[in-house]
Structure 1
Amino acid sequence: MNPQPAVSALDRLTAAGRRRARRWVGCPRILDVLTALSCLALMALDIPGLAEADNSLDSPVEAAFVLFLGASTLLLRRRQPWVPYAVALIFLWWLHELTLVQFALYSLGRYRGWRAGVLGVVAYVVCALVLFSLPGWPLHGGDSLPSFLSLVVPIGVLAAGVGIAANRQDLVRALEAQRAETAVLGAVQAERARVAGDVHDFVGRELTLLTVRAEVLARRARGESYAKDFEELSETSRRAHRVLNEIIVQRGADGAPTPGLDALAALAEQSDRAGSPVKLDVDEAAQRLSPLRQAAVYRVVQECLTNAAKHAPGELVGVRIAIADHQARITVSNTLPASAPSRAPVSAGTGTAGMAERVRSVGGTFTAGHAEGAYEVVAELPTGLPAA
């Protein structure tokens, strides 16, 4: 009995559980609720003292209710962080409570940047200094000024400083995400340019042959009644070629057209020499695909072999190109390595976007992802061939 399916099912369930946990933990609303509950739990340690102090709270229930209302304002910390900050200053004056102000100052620095964080700290320190000078403030260790400098000021500076640092990290992550999105868009645009270049090469070649053939036939039919038709056909094809040249931007000298299926064997041999063996299986009917569709197949296989060499070096790569029901199906899969490479591969992360754009340019569909211990890319595109 082979236990492998059970292990794979367990791995899939574990991975699904981890994804759900990341979604729950990463949800902003859930994080805000957890933050408010954490603040409430810390402030709840002061409930017995607050009920006994001279602050108009007559019972632990009233003190707990007031603290609950104060902690609830942290649910607004992303959109309106000044609200919990103002409530925290009220708590500082009324209840001598320093917990909420720490969360509020962190929220100011995190969601409004360093200017708001610095302003919040300054206002908090001034307010606390005034309150420290009033009778009735519970002193922490004899002299009020040393207590103020050793407790109140570090609390505010540290909380706001951590929030400002987190804000910087948020900006860095947002910038990285924007760069990644820009890189993907650039890859898509580059692939579109390559497709346009291939259209120019393949269609332009056929139009040139059509023009030449029509001119030859026109010369042979000179003197006949239908000679004018061949001349019109030649002029029409020449005019279509000029329009094609005007629409598609000419590439540089290195813009050779994308190879077709005939070049797959050399591509597989190159991958073999690099240490990633390839099992290539191509239906004979695939040779009847148009040059543009063959170029799409080549681009998918080329990028897949490159990715396999980066992320799964030494693993066998299976390439299958099948023709069925007027659809060409390209399947490229490789087993995932047991352990990650010692060094992260150098990758721009845009190859998949380029492959997908190339397949969509000829009316196909594209999927890529993990499948039972392997990474599989499946592309389907219409053959455009007449029925057999």
Structure 2
Amino acid sequence: MTTTGEDGKGDIRALTGPWWWARWRSAVLDGCLALVSAVECAAEGIPFARDAGIPLAVGVAFGMVAGSTLLVRRMWPIVVVLVSVAISPAQMGFLLTVVGLYTLAASELPRRIIASLAGMSLLGTLVVTFVRAQQDMTNGELDMGDWFVPFISITASVGVTAPPLLLGLYVGARRRLMESLRERADSLERELQLLAERAEERAEWARNEERTRIARDMHDVVAHRVSLMVVHAAALQAVARKDPEKAVKNAALVGDMGRQALTELREMLGVLRSGDGAGVARERAEAVPLAAVRVAAAAAASRAADEGGGSAEGPCLSELDELIGQSAAAGMMVDLSVEGEVRSYAPEVERTAYRVVQEALTNVHKHAAGAKTYVRLAHRVSEIAMQVENEAPSEVSSARLPSGGNGLVGMKERVSALGGVFVSGPTDAGGFRVSAVIPAS
């Protein structure tokens, strides 16, 4: 529960005291001040009643009611000051005036209102003091020069008004400063909590990205060579009795591909053990904002792919002939055409282009064995384009290669990470086409 006073100040603290007080301690303090002020004004009401010619009981009651208004000083400081100004001609309410001005100055009221009420209190005290001193001089109670009346009037009015007013302004400014610092500390705490939550989100995203990258790298390393091994094994089974010499050749090819697959797996596992590959996405995710880390970490994942203990460069476009030769050795009819001036590219661009062609050929082995395949590579001014298209298969493959459906997704992720465009889909002739365009820089 919170409260808002008439001074416009919203108190955000929970109320634990009665009525408008935030704490019981404040209520007790105001009660004591109101009691002392009521006693003072009641005592001062006796001479006021005699001078005014009214019953003493009326003067005492009037003083007690006026002095007890200190009880509402926190809720309505304006009322307290106005009452003190109103009873100043009766020479009552010294404590009421002092405490009222202090409370008014310490409140959140506009400065012009505080200045106006303080000016009224100063003027009222000045006039009352001047009149009383003049009367004393006239009655002969004081025998001073003409300078004494204005001097005592100004001194008394300033002495009663200025100290509580200045103290209240100081306390109010200090209170606002403390509240501002508290709000700033709360804001910083919320920002730190938000940063911690975002850091946790980035870490979780990095872990997911790393798992995806490892799965994609495992797929790139294993799928192509194992697919070729299965194709060769099927061919080996078919010609084992009819053509022993070709069977021996196919067996040697299966062994070579198996050793190459084991070598690449060993290199990749070496990277994971050393932590160089496993921490790439996470380190980048924690170092930059979440919006930028998606592109940066994806590119880092593409750069980190195929890096190993002894093979830092990874596959490149110059190895396409060997890749196509392996597919041709497995019985696939592959036609490679290159357009434009051959040149070198950034390592991540060449690796991605190589992997796109490799995965496309793997898919042909899986789903269109024996179909003629066309591999086109175009070197352009600011980009490199590749297309792998196979004709409709003449028969269903007997190799029965499994497919997880992640090959095309992995290719699209690699190309998109470098700002390229990837398109795949069936052709009108019943075949399948994979196309990709990657910026050269």
Same fold? TM cut 0.5 = no
**Structure of higher RCO (CA pairs closer than 8 Å, 6+ residues apart):** 1
Q: Which bin holds the TM-score, normalised by the shorter protein?
A: 0.3 to 0.5
- The two structures have a TM-score, normalised by structure 2, of 0.40
Q: Which entry has the higher C-alpha Rg, 1 or 2?
A: 2
